[in-house]
Amino acid sequence: MRYASKEPRKATNDFLQTPGYLYRQLDRMFHFEFDPCPVKPKFDGLDISWTERNYANPPYSQKELWIQKAVNESQFGHDTVMLLPVDTSTSWFLDLVVPNAKIIWIRGRVKYDKKIAPYAMHASFLAIFGEWLGTYIPDILDQDPH
């Protein structure tokens, strides 16, 4: 498999923060402990060990690196929920996500801050890497903006 090289973030959508309503909804379900790739990182999340319950909205220009890291971390009992763009024809989806993650489809497009981008340019889904023992994981997530 070929994966992207480790380069600085480039794409505009690399800097879109997960909307608060969506993060809170997911945090109620999964009780996150750590975000290995925050919008303004003070560390390189690809070079450190993650915690047991992680949430990641990776820079889309480097999503393959972050997905591979989530797969590797899951082997150490570190579970990750990752927000990703829907692109089911790509090798990263077929080779990394499908065999290693539970997929939750998000109904509708993610709604961002209207000043920046009112809606995502594409549909999104959640990839759940790891066990998440005792957690109910739905097949479809209806966004709750409240």
Read off the CATH number of the domain in which 64 is found: 3.40.50
Q: Mean pLDDT over residues 39-49, rounded?
A: 94
The token pair that represents 19 in the structure block = 């909307």
pLDDT in the model for residue 4: 40
Q: Does the residue 6 lie in any domain?
A: no
Instruction: Give the pLDDT band (50/70/90) at residue 144.
Output: low
pLDDT in the model for residue 141: 83
Residue 107 CA, distance from chain mean position: 16
Residue 104 CA, distance from chain mean position: 11
Q: Is the pLDDT of residue 1 over 60?
A: no
Residue 139 CA, distance from chain mean position: 16
| Distance linking the first and last C-alpha atoms of the chain | 41
The proportion of the chain whose per-residue pLDDT surpasses 90, expressed as a percent, equals: 61
The token pair that represents 130 in the structure block = 């790891």
Q: Mean pLDDT over residues 122-134, rounded?
A: 87
Cα 112 to Cα 39: distance, rounded to the nearest angstrom = 14
- pTM score, whole prediction: 0.85
Q: Mean pLDDT over residues 52-80, rounded?
A: 96
Cα 141 to Cα 70: distance, rounded to the nearest angstrom = 21
Q: Is the pLDDT of residue 116 over 90?
A: no
Q: Which of 29-43, 74-88, 130-144 has the lowest mean pLDDT?
A: 130-144
In the predicted model, what is the mean pLDDT of the chain? 85
More confident residue, 133 or 3: 133
Q: Does the residue 22 lie in any domain?
A: yes
Q: Does the residue 63 lie in any domain?
A: yes
pLDDT in the model for residue 40: 86
87 residue type, one letter: D
Q: Is the pLDDT of residue 5 over 80?
A: no
Q: Does the residue 71 lie in any domain?
A: yes
More confident residue, 98 or 111: 98
Cα 129 to Cα 36: distance, rounded to the nearest angstrom = 14
Cβ pair 42, 67 in contact under 8 A: no
Q: Does the residue 24 lie in any domain?
A: yes
- Into how many domains does the chain fold? 1
Q: Does the residue 134 lie in any domain?
A: yes
Enclosing domain of residue 78: 12-142
